[in-house]
Chain A
Amino acid sequence: MADFLINSVGLPPWLAWTVVAGVAAVLILNVIAGGALVFIWAERKIAARIQDRLGPTRTGGRFGWLQSLADGIKLLAKEDLMPEGADGLLFRIAPYVSFCASFAAFIALPFAFDFVGQRLNVGVFFVVAVLGLEVFGVILAGYASASKWSLFGAMREAAQVVSYEVPLGMCVVVPVMLAGTMDLVTIAEKQAGWFTNWYLFHDPFTFVVFWVYVTCAVASVNRAPFDLAEAESELVAGFHTEYSGLRWSFFFMAEYGSMFLVSALAAVLFLGGWNGPVPVAALLGLSEGTGDTAHYFVRLIGCGNLLLKATLGVLVMMWIRWTLPRLRIDQVMTVCLKYCTPIAAVMFAGAMLWQLFLPGGLVPGLSRPAGEIREGWLPGPGGAARGPVGQAAKKTVAQVQP
């Protein structure tokens, strides 16, 4: 896009790059903010249905679909309180720290083959690293509020997130190992084709590791049953007890943003990314040798695919939240340290051994051997190197090695 602006429109490079960055940033911001609006409405409806209620029904006509917007306006108009004893600077800065961390992690998240803010060589690592920073805002908020409830909530959150980063990292490493790269785009591209190519179905170990990842992801974004940081029954509202108005809504946008992010990450790592369960585009012959418009169309479908998978992930999180009771803090730690971490470690070793001894899978030809091509394999746009796993790339590797 930047090249197009420079060459065809004639903008100076710095302006072109700024425009491109701005477009990406605004799009991501819209995904987070718009997503939060929709998800909050969905959460209310789902919670209501699970509890045998109706939920919002009046605002905006039939399903109360304008409820979140009305809430947003209410939050905008609400008085912005700050406790007297609070540390003003930290109190004000904390919601933005949370939100920025959630937002920055989206930069490396690919939505379809070329739809990625900034394609990074170490995309997975970047996303996990930046997502871990979100807890920083929570701790700052808890500390700066000068309230015992807030401080308790923040401390619990810190303990929880720091512990859950260990099994989460181990789960994330498994697809990275199978794909042989940390580039999210390449990881998703390698799962192209039928859904049997998804890393979820690669071998039994990855199947188990996916569910460990789901558990850790729910815990790392502080959703029930792991929402000790804002345990309403004990801590009023946890770390955001003292917040109101727009600042409070920033925390919520950060929460829904990171929920969406971990779901999208699960989709990319385990569920084939933007590749649908059935390779419709490939069957129609759209992805090979057709024009630019067709490529664009395919990517648009892929983008919808990924958004759908991520949304499903978020809905599952809501389902879990309104179904399971909250764990105690010691149970949270037990789940992390005694169950998730050992299971993830064993599954990691198992996936490694499987990769070593059964690289072709149990049924030959059904699932493709993964990870035979390492860094540097970057397929051309629109799947030039798709099909039977980039024959051209294989050849070049073979040529280089002797």
Chain B
Amino acid sequence: MTGCLMLAAVNFHTLLFYLFAILACGFAVGVVVADNVVRMALYLVLSLGATAGLFFLAGAEFIGAMQLMIYVGGTLVLLVFGVMLTAQAPFVTIKTSPGDRVLAGIVAASLLALLLQAAFSVEAWRRPGLGEVAQPAATPIGVALVGIRVDEPPAGAPPGVRSGYLLPFEIVSVHLLVVLVGAAYLARAKRRRTQRAIEVAASVQSLVEPVVEVPRQARGSASALATGGTR
């Protein structure tokens, strides 16, 4: 009974928040520690899913669903690439060199310091009142990204002209496009003829190919039959 009362004193939201936060952080550490690509991707998905849970807990359902759709779905594609690139041998492990670890540690620590500083510079850990919500909303930023500044006109501009962040936004988009094209170039099917591959291909060929050469005419009709279903 006392246990019941003690539980009742705990805020339900707080409890769930800690649960999701611990899950997110724990699996994030798991991503760093694991040395198998697919396991890393799994931990990343679970961590991002826990973050989506945090969003749902905060009542931001749209962002939560977005998190699931974009990040978790994106990790899915990452996972597919991971499987495809490591499929030569089962369960390839990735070893991180000590130098990389130190470098990553420095970057992570500095980012953490920055975030902590930003977090603690908030005046107080309190819920914003109803009136205060309007100001820090993301809408002005989003509108400014498509070229309209709703907050203030730039200094010295003639009245009515308000330049937003459209140009930087477009530049970033073009960068992303370049990255996409580059990724497609890198990932396209290149036939690397290693010695092993040639041997395997030869052995498979000798097994599969019939010794007697199939007449050209028969081959053509066979392929026509095979592709006939698509027409």
Interface residues of A (CB under 8 A from B): 12-15, 17, 85, 87, 89-90, 93, 120-122, 125-126, 128-130, 132-133, 135-136, 139-140, 142-144, 146, 151, 154-155, 158-159, 162, 165, 328, 330-331, 334
**Among candidates A17, A93, A155, A334, residue contacting B80 with C-beta atoms closer than 8 Å:** A155
**Among candidates A85, A122, A155, residue contacting B62 with C-beta atoms closer than 8 Å:** A122
- Is A120 in contact with B12, judged by CB distance below 8 angstroms? no
Q: Can you offer 28 A-B residue contacts whose CB atoms are under 8 A?
A: A13-B8, A13-B12, A15-B4, A87-B38, A87-B91, A90-B42, A93-B42, A121-B62, A125-B65, A128-B69, A129-B65, A133-B72, A133-B73, A133-B76, A136-B76, A139-B79, A143-B38, A143-B83, A144-B38, A146-B91, A151-B87, A154-B83, A155-B80, A155-B83, A158-B80, A162-B77, A328-B229, A331-B229
Measured between alpha carbons, how far is A174 from B138 in the docked complex, in Å? 27
- Is B73 in contact with A132, judged by CB distance below 8 angstroms? yes
Check if B31 is an interface residue, CB within 8 A of chain A.
no
Specify the chain A residue showing the minimal Cβ separation from B11.
A14
Q: Contact flags (1/0) for B80-120 with A, using CB distance below 8 Å?
A: 10011001001100000000000000000000000000000
B34 CB to nearest A CB, Å: 10
Measured between alpha carbons, how far is A18 from B127 in the docked complex, in Å? 25
Measured between alpha carbons, how far is A155 from B45 in the docked complex, in Å? 18
Q: Contact flags (1/0) for B149-184 with A, using CB distance below 8 Å?
A: 000000000000000000000000000000000000
Check if B29 is an interface residue, CB within 8 A of chain A.
no
Specify the chain B residue showing the minimal Cβ separation from A12.
B8
Check if B199 is an interface residue, CB within 8 A of chain A.
no
Specify which chain A residues have a CB less than 8 angstroms from the CB of B42 in the assembled complex: 90, 93, 140
A241 CB to nearest B CB, Å: 15
Interface residues of B (CB under 8 A from A): 4, 7-8, 10, 12, 36, 38-39, 42, 45, 61-62, 64-66, 68-69, 72-73, 76-77, 79-80, 83-84, 87, 90-91, 229-230
Specify which chain B residues have a CB less than 8 angstroms from the CB of A14 in the assembled complex: 7-8, 10, 12
**Among candidates B10, B73, B83, residue contacting A139 with C-beta atoms closer than 8 Å:** B83
Since A142-B83, A151-B87, A330-B230 are in contact, a sample of 14 more A-B pairs with Cβ atoms closer than 8 Å, ordered by chain A residue number, is A14-B12, A90-B39, A125-B66, A126-B61, A126-B64, A129-B65, A132-B73, A133-B68, A133-B73, A139-B80, A151-B83, A155-B80, A158-B76, A162-B76
A353 CB to nearest B CB, Å: 24
- Is B39 in contact with A89, judged by CB distance below 8 angstroms? yes
Measured between alpha carbons, how far is A135 from B4 in the docked complex, in Å? 40
A121 CB to nearest B CB, Å: 5
A331-B80 contact, Cβ under 8 Å, with A12-B4, A87-B36, A93-B42: no
Specify the chain A residue showing the minimal Cβ separation from B81.
A158
Specify which chain A residues have a CB less than 8 angstroms from the CB of B77 in the assembled complex: 162
Most chain A Cβ neighbours within 10 Å, of B38, B65, B90:
B65
Measured between alpha carbons, how far is A146 from B61 in the docked complex, in Å? 38
Specify which chain B residues have a CB less than 8 angstroms from the CB of A87 in the assembled complex: 36, 38-39, 91
Specify the chain A residue showing the minimal Cβ separation from B73.
A132
Measured between alpha carbons, how far is A176 from B66 in the docked complex, in Å? 16
Specify which chain B residues have a CB less than 8 angstroms from the CB of A144 in the assembled complex: 38
